[in-house]
């Protein structure tokens, strides 16, 4: 499915003149750094570019056609010369008092994108300097990027002032817009249901370590909370398993689903570090080496003398990490030594979390695939 950037013109591509009407070359001043960063968006990122602009009274005595088209055509040609090509250009000519459905924040000009399976509007953005642009984003089911040079622009035309959840970024900088789109949020939701377990997972790789875990096994919940907290990811897990039989299916299926969730959230893996971690905890020392390289493998060197830690069978620790590696298509090498069984397994989960934190880190200046194979 295609993603779209619906981009406003005046105040977004160009600086807004004092009378809000670009009708001379003197008034046609391009927004700082737009060629550099919109150009990078056009070349590097997978978005269709669409211009959407309100031009009050275009074609009337107050704004004759000849006072608009020379400068509009020059603008479009200048962008094209820089490799920035708009697939469509939508211009509404009405006055605000007409309340036309085609005028932003109305969606009348953009009906071709609504209920169209070829477009993913939830992953698309409206970029503009007016609140009407942000309400347009909400009406489309998209997200908004607000260029905040005057927070009150368009306030007299919006009908919905509850736009906080729609606005993904407030900025004055096209560089910030580029970097936000480049490092798009890596958040996914996954459900996995079988005859034995029902699992729901929400994961945000760029979170802050918040978690809500409920698997029905308290010690397992505690370990998964360590994974979120020390891995710096937001993680919600709800597992309903056949614990009346035993813990096996609950632990193994949760691990498979969690691995699959990580694989989805990592996406094309461009820019990630890919690897990582050694961690001491009191008497124990643990080494976890991790590679999100697309091939599953587990080396496990950890022995436990107790049958249970809390309500969790120690034999299931191996199964958890094996299932995660299979689901995430990851290579895991885990070694741990120590005398206290609780410390040992907790250090394994903490080191695993730190390895994940290192491996999923992205470098915005090096958005390349960390592999000579060309795929991961």
Pairing of strands 197-204, 234-241: antiparallel
Q: How far apart are CA 249 and CA 196, in angstroms?
A: 7
Catalytic residue among 8, 92, 133, 253: 8
Q: What is the SS3 assignment for 175?
A: helix
Q: What six digits make up the tokens of 98?
A: 């007409």
Q: Is 283 a catalytic residue?
A: no
Task: Classify burial at 201, counting beta carbons within 10 Å of its beta carbon; exposed 0-12, middle 13-18, buried 19 or more.
Answer: buried
**Measuring CA to CA, which residue among 25, 1, 6 is closest to residue 89?**
6
What is the pLDDT at residue 332?
A: 95
8 Cβ contact list (under 8 Å, min separation 6): 51, 52, 53, 104, 126, 127, 128, 129, 130, 133
Q: How far apart are CA 256 and CA 320, in angstroms?
A: 8
Q: What six digits make up the tokens of 90?
A: 């939508």
pTM of the full structure = 0.66
Q: Is 10 a catalytic residue?
A: yes
Q: How far apart are CA 205 and CA 296, in angstroms?
A: 20
∠239-240-243 over CA atoms, to 5°? 115
Q: Which fold has domain 187-360?
A: Ribosomal Protein S5; domain 2 (3.30.230)
Mean pLDDT for each consecutive 10-residue tract of the chain (376 residues)? Answer: 96 91 91 96 93 96 94 97 98 96 97 95 96 96 94 79 91 94 86 96 93 97 96 96 94 97 88 72 86 93 93 95 96 94 93 93 69 60
Domain ranges of the chain: 3-182, 187-360
Catalytic residue among 10, 129, 253, 291: 10
For the chain, what's the residue count? 376
Q: Which CATH architecture has domain 3-182?
A: 3-Layer(aba) Sandwich (3.40)
């Amino acid at each position: 499915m295609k993603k779209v950037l619906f981009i406003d013109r005046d105040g977004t591509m160009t600086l807004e003149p004092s009378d809000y009407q670009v009708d001379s070359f003197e008034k046609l001043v391009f927004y700082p750094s737009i060629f550099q960063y919109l150009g990078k968006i056009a070349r590097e990122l997978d978005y269709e570019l669409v211009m959407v602009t309100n031009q009050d009274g275009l074609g009337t005595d107050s704004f004759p056609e000849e006072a608009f088209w020379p400068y509009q055509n020059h603008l479009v040609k200048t962008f094209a010369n820089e490799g920035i090509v708009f697939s469509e250009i939508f211009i509404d000519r009405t006055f605000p008092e007409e309340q036309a459905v085609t005028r932003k924040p109305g969606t009348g000009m953009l009906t071709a994108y609504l209920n169209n399976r070829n477009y993913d509007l939830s992953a698309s953005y409206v970029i503009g300097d007016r609140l009407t642009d942000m309400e347009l984003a909400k009406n489309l089911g998209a997200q908004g990027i607000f260029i905040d040079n005057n927070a009150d622009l368009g306030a007299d035309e919006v009908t919905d002032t509850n736009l906080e959840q729609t606005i993904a970024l407030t900025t004055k900088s096209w560089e910030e817009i580029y970097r936000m789109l480049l490092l798009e949020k890596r958040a996914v939701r996954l459900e996995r249901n079988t005859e034995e377990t029902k699992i729901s997972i929400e994961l945000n790789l760029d979170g802050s370590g918040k978690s809500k875990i409920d698997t029905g096994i308290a010690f397992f919940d505690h370990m998964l909370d360590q994974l979120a907290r020390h891995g710096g990811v937001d993680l919600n897990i709800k597992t309903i398993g056949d614990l009346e039989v035993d813990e096996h299916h609950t632990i193994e299926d949760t691990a498979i689903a969690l691995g699959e969730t990580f694989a989805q959230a990592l996406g094309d893996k461009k820019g990630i570090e890919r690897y990582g971690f050694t961690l001491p905890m009191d008497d124990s020392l643990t080494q976890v080496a991790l590679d999100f390289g697309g091939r599953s493998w587990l080396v496990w060197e950890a022995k436990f003398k107790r049958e249970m830690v809390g309500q969790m069978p120690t034999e299931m620790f191996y199964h958890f990490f094996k299932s995660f590696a299979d689901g995430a298509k990851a290579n895991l090498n885990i070694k741990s030594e120590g005398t206290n069984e609780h410390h040992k397994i907790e250090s394994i989960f903490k080191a695993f979390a730190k390895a994940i934190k290192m491996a999923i880190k992205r470098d915005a200046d090096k958005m390349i695939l960390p592999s000579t194979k060309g795929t991961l």
